[in-house]
Each structure stands twice: as C-alpha cells, then as structure tokens.
Structure 1
Amino acid sequence: MTELPLSGVRVCDLTWVIAGPTATRILADFGAEVIRVEHGQAADPIRFGRPIAGERPTLNNSGFFNYFNRNKKSVLLNVRHPLGMEVLHRLIAVSDVVIENFSSGVLESWGLDYEAMRAINPRVISCSISGFGHTGRDRRFTTWGPTAQALSGLTLMSGLPGKPPAGWGYSYLDHTAGYYAAIAVMMALHHRNRTGEGQAIDIAQVETGMVLTGPAVLDFTVNGRSWLREGMPPGNRAWEPRIAPHNTYPCAGEDRWVAIAVRNDTEWEAMRRAMGEAGWAADARFAANAGRLAHEDELDARIAEWTRERDAYAVMQALQAAGVPAGVCQTAGDRVERDPQLQARGWWTSMPHPELGESGFDGVAPRLSRTPGTNRTASPLMGEHTFEVMTGTLGMSADEYAEREAMGVFM
C-alpha cells in the first residue's frame, strides 16, 4: 500500500466530544498514528452517543463515537495517578503532536502548558482548541458548538423575518474548529520539517465561527448596515438576486421535498413545458420575473399543487432534463442507498467492529491522487491498545506494565 502523507507522525490525542476528535480523525485518515488517551472513570460522553447498536449504550457500541474515531488507537491512563502522569510525559516525549480541546487552563493545571511540554520534547507541536483561546478577557469561559455559534454572530443571522434567531440544528462549529485544527497541525509540521522547531497552536472556536459571518461583516464595514433578518425574504426564497420561483416544494410521500430555482424567464418557460403547460402557468402575471415576485405566494402554492402528487426524484429529473435547476432534498437514506454520484465515487465503505458489526463509513475528503487517505480500522474499543502502546511504543517490560496496572495507572 502507498505510504500515507502523515505516516510516521505520532499524535498524543487528549481530545473528547467532537471538535478535537474531528481534527484527529483527519490526521488519522491520512496516516498519522493517533493514540487516544482515555480514562475509564471519565469516559468521553460521545462513547454513549446515539445511535447505538442494541438497546443500551456500552462504552463501545456508539455509532456516533465510531464515526469520529476511526483509524485511531485507545489507551487507558489515569493521569491523576502520579505514575499515570509520568506515563503521559513519556508518551509526549515520543509524540510529534499533542492535541486537546479542554477548557483553557486545564493542561496548565496539570502542569502541562506548552513550555512544560517543550521541556519534555523540544520538537513537540501543541494544539489547543478552546472556546475563546488562551488569552484575553474571556479565556476561562467554556463553549459548545451552539454557544460558539451564537457568540460568533451566526445564530443571529439564521432564522425567519419577524421571528427569534433560529441558529443551526447541529454543532457545526465543533466540526469547523476541528478542521482548522487539522490544517494548523499540518502547517506546523511543515514548519518543523524546515526549521526543526515545534510550536504552540491556539485555536478559539468562536473565531472560527466569525469567519463564516463574512457577508454581514462586509456589508457593515463597506455600507454601514447591520444585519437584519427583516430585510430578507422568508424561508428558502432568494435574496440576492431576487428571483422566483425559488423554494422547496412538497412531493409525494412523507416529508419529501424538492428544491427548485428559476433564474430567468427562459427557465420559467422551460418549467412551464415540463409541468405540461398547466393553464395557470400561462397567466401573464407570471411571464416575467417581476410579476412572479409580486405574486410569489400564489406561485409557490400552484407549484406545490403540481409537485405534491409526484415523486421527488421524478420532479427533479423532469426539470433538470428541461434545463431548470432542481434537486431532491435528500434524506440520509437517499445519500447512502440511492445517490448515484456517491456510488460512482465509491464514497461509502464499511469496516468490521467487534460490537457494531460491519459498519458503514463515509469516504476521506479531500482526495489526493498519489497519497489518498484511507479507512483502515473502525473506532477502537475503550483501552484496546493500552498494552500494545505501553510495551511497544514506550518500551515498558511486561513486568513494569503489570506493576502499574495493579496500581491503577491503566484505568
């Protein structure tokens, strides 16, 4: 097998939940040896995250955990035990990267700020993901994806006119911060390859969200306008430029929808033909975009009457064949079972897991032509690689391992 781009890079992974594991998943996909340091009495909550296999969560049957932690190893280590902290120091000494997403100050309280790590390993790269970073007034505050989203301004920008801010339905900023962390680690590795110098990486989750507010920031700095949802069209209607129809429409079946966007009068005529020259569509009020916008509610209701009786894929294919932009609002099942594009690219793969069985996984993005990332192993069982790492990577003898195990170091 082709050597992966990050083969030979070892990551001491102190992360938990989503933001940190997103970063280390990317590094692991591209060949880094990622060693998750876990503690049995303070397990990562995502190990219990649904969906699960079976009726009750165990430490190892979470599909959620499996998704974020493929291609990694897991060791049990009680860092509150003096000998456990000594083992962590030994692991840092042989690692290229140490990454964590605790609240700012946690590693400092362990006596493991960057300067302390550098004393253990002068070439180490330390990456920290926290809510506000390690400097400034708010550095001690904690965040989750939804709160970071609100603090970055994204929640205010999301929602319907006249309604409270809606925000997004998932912790997207946990993923965003993780992506930034993976990129930053690779830049730091490149710098170290050129200079021999390690460094500290300080990522503030709120700042990674603020990058996504670009249109609002630009409008304020250039035009002096604050972002107001009241100035936006409701729902999925187009804003810039204002065009109609531009919405999602119900289709046959439970909660099935298709998105349709008509950008000009030529596409409207094409849509009329695709709908079978319905009499209402010939109304002169709908002939030009200005008229369609003036009667948008009626237009949307009429289109919905047509789509509601038809299969969403049939609507999409008929409109696309006519040259009208349209797409099914796909469910998760659609993406896995019937998306021909993803099937053609071999996006979905599977790997065996001791408790979950044969488990499906998404592919690795981005795709490199010579050294593409790979799915090699499903998520590790809790502490699955403790003996292997302690005796192989750290060079402990079997007796030393057994002695420390008996003292509660590996738990």
Structure 2
Amino acid sequence: MQNKPLDGLRVTDFGWILSIPHATAWLGTLGADVIRVETEVRLDLIRVQGMNRGIDGVMGLNRSGAFNGLNYSKRGVTLNLQKPEGHDLALRLVEQSDIVTENFSTGVIDRLGLGYEELCKVRPDLIMLSGSPVGLTGPEAMATGWGPTTLAYTGLPWITGYRGGPPAAYGGAYPDFMIGVQMVFSILVALHERERTGKGQHIDLSMAETVAAMTPEPLLDHEFNGRDATRDGNRHPVFAPQGVYRTAGDDTWIAISVETDEQWAALVDAMGSPEWALGADLGTAAGRRARHDDVDDGITAWTRGHETHGLAGLLQSYGIPAAPSWGPRDLAADGMLRERGYLTPIGHAEVGEREVAGLPSRFSAMPELAYGPAPMLGEHNREVFRDLLGVPEEEYERLRADGVIG
C-alpha cells in the first residue's frame, strides 16, 4: 500500500517498557505487522500504570495513557514463555517473522531458549535486535538498570547541572525514545543488508553507547585535548549570554542564546539600551562570560515584564536566537504539532479516540501514515494463534485454560 513501505514484513516483539515499544510502534505505522508478545505472569510496567493512573480516572489494564501512546500500530498477544508449549508457539511465530526485538536483562532471552542461535534454526535469515543498558559483551554486560542508571554510564549526567553542584539526571524517559529511534535505524540497515546478501543478523544495541554518541563532545575533548568537561548550568563555554530566563506569569520562561557580538548589540537594542548593558567590557563574549551573573540578572529584570511567546517573537525579529520554554500543556495547546500531524488522533476500543505523539517526519509520497490503535491485553490471541499459526480450536481453548496463552 502507498502509505505502508514496510508492508509484508512481520515483527515478533518481545520488548517492554519504553525503547523497543517506541521503535516497533514506528515500524508498525510504516506498515510492518508488529505482534507484541506480553505475558500475564509479569505484566509490562507501563501497562500496569493503568491500574493507578487510568485514562479519565478509570482504572484498567487497557487504560494506561503511556502504554497506549507507546504501542500504537500493533497487534497484541499473551503468551507464557516459561511453559514448553508457550516456548513452542513463540518459535512458530518467529518462524513466520522477519524481525525479533527484545530488551530483557542480559541472558534472559537465552535462558528462555529464544536466543538468536536458537531462533535462526527456525528462521535462518532472521534479524534480531537486543537492547540492553551497556551491551551484551564487555565487563559491564550483566548490568541491569533503568533510564537514570543507564545514563550514569554515558557521561551525560556528569556534564549536566550547576557549577559546584552534583551531576544531574534527566529522568527515566529521556534516553529511551532516542534509543528507540536508533533501534529503527539499525533494523532498517539490517533489512537493507538482508536484501543485498540474503543474510540476517543479530543487532546488539547498547543504550549507553547510543546516548554517548548523541553527546560526543565531552568524550572527544578528553581524548584529543585531555580536558574534562565541567558543569555550568545552561551556560555555553564560548557564547554569552546563554540561559533560560523568567518571564511574566507563573513559572514561565524563555531561552536565549547570544552567539555573536552583533546579536548582543541587537539584544541591548531590544531591551531599550539599559545603562547596565552599555559597558565596553560587555562588547565581547569573553567580557560577558566574565560577568555572566550580572548579565543574567539584568536580562531577567527585563524579561520578567514580558509575556513569553510575544517576547520570543520580538527577539527573533531582532535576529536573536530565542524560544519559549514550553511544558506539556503549552505543547498540546499550540497548533504547530497538531497542524503538522505529529499529534495524531487514534481510536481505541476501550478509551475512545485519543491523540498520541506520532512520527516526526512528513513524507511527500505518504501524506497520511497508517496509524492503528495499541492492543488491549491479549486482544489478538485468537487472530494470531488460530488464524496465523493454525492452532486448532480445541487445542487453542486448552492452551488458554492451561495458562499457556495468557
């Protein structure tokens, strides 16, 4: 189909939490048949959020906003992989799949008898992606962790924070979504290579290495120049001033970054040429950095008298890099994301139509992408096990009763 470039590909998705669900939602939206494999023995922690933070205040396993927003464009089944018959059904599903994804703790997939070597016995040209905190090999391979602890391996918290303060974490979600994008990229590369050679492969993706690759300057500066980066808040090592400044309103802010002396002169003009900003020592970036605290105080005294969005427009008209610092409510209220189709409505059988964060790319040949809802728990069990795998009705009901399917 025109808006499904990955039509004809099937993904067996053993992933959970954030990064792999994010990646496979994109693959599903681009046309792949993604079958999300869950188990009722240990439910996805993001799905479980629906039991204490359900959509519209109604609790339920199908009412997690985070789960539904991360797992759109997929089918969903429940399967107990610890039972021999569950393991066998998983192999049958993999046999009819092009791609397998998983992000269990290192070694778990092998102990389940579903490691890459085993899966290649039923699907020799399989592409398998394994995501882990620091990779499947190396001295820290057995490390387990979540977003904040994985970030600690990357050096990013070390350079984040205020001068004299401790390293600052970004929270659990920050790395996962960029890691999901890297997973999509890696899978598409492997698919291209399989088209060229006919061979599949195992992709070992390190979350920590992905984040380190996104912020390479500190590591490169150390390797090439022997310098260790220090924490300096929102400030730039060369440009000045740079920061996030309060504006009129309750907890409203604007980001401003002055990169040249000409932009500083424009900022002084925009502020009405206050006396404090006219000193000759502020005519250079070095001078402004030396008095950054004073400059920040002066800018804040001015920005506090202006509304954020209008001030950003004013500064941009002067050629000064500036933008409102938006929170989620601001992003949802602004028409930009909705008009461009990033916030896209998707219907759901239990919670109705809701907006989710879709793909951030606009394709000229695919103006409408093939979004579909997130699966309810076990929603497609019959469709997948009976229709796709051909499990007879009597056996299917027995497997359900025995807790194999479930």
CA distance in 1, matches of 2:205, 2:7: 25
* 1:365-392 superposed Cα distances (whole Å, 9 cap, x missing partner): 3333324672522211101111111122
TM-superposed CA distance for 1:146, in Å, is: 1.3
CA distance in 1, matches of 2:222, 2:279: 41
TM superposition score normalised by structure 2: 0.92
The residue type paired with residue 400 of structure 1 is E
Map of 2:239 onto structure 1: 242
Residue 347 (structure 2) pairs with residue 349 (structure 1): no
Distance verdict in 2 for CA 1:351–1:325, change over 3 Å: same
Q: For residues 60-79 of structure 1, what are the structure 2 equivalents within 5 Å?
A: 60-79=62-81
1:175 aligned to 174, 177, 186, which one? 177
2:248 aligned to 248, 252, 257, which one? 252
Contact 1:31/1:373, CA 8 A, preserved across alignment: no
Q: For residues 22-41 of structure 1, what are the structure 2 equivalents within 5 Å?
A: 22-41=22-41
CA distance in 2, matches of 1:316, 1:83: 61
TM-superposed CA distance for 1:254, in Å, is: 1.1
CA distance in 2, matches of 1:392, 1:272: 70
Contact 2:29/2:73, CA 8 A, preserved across alignment: yes
TM-superposed CA distance for 1:291, in Å, is: 4.2
Q: For residues 364-379 of structure 1, what are the structure 2 equivalents within 5 Å?
A: 364-371=359-366, 374-379=369-374
SS of match in other structure, 2:41: helix
1:143 aligned to 142, 145, 168, which one? 145
TM superposition score normalised by structure 1: 0.91
Map of 1:20 onto structure 2: 20
Q: For residues 265-276 of structure 1, what are the structure 2 equivalents within 5 Å?
A: 265-276=261-272
Q: How many residues align?
A: 404
Contact 2:146/2:172, CA 8 A, preserved across alignment: no
CA distance in 2, matches of 1:13, 1:270: 53
CA distance in 2, matches of 1:13, 1:145: 20
The residue type paired with residue 92 of structure 2 is R
Farther off after superposition, 51-60 or 247-256: 51-60
Contact 1:30/1:372, CA 8 A, preserved across alignment: no
SS of match in other structure, 1:141: coil
Q: Which runs of 5+ in 1 are unaligned?
A: none
* 1:179-215 superposed Cα distances (whole Å, 9 cap, x missing partner): 2222221122112222222222212222223323421
Distance verdict in 2 for CA 1:327–1:401, change over 3 Å: same
Identity %: 38
Contact 2:62/2:376, CA 8 A, preserved across alignment: yes
Contact 1:4/1:373, CA 8 A, preserved across alignment: no
Residue 331 (structure 2) pairs with residue 335 (structure 1): yes
TM-superposed CA distance for 1:272, in Å, is: 3.0
* 1:320-372 superposed Cα distances (whole Å, 9 cap, x missing partner): 122222111012122221244x3442322111223332211223133333246
TM-superposed CA distance for 1:44, in Å, is: 0.3
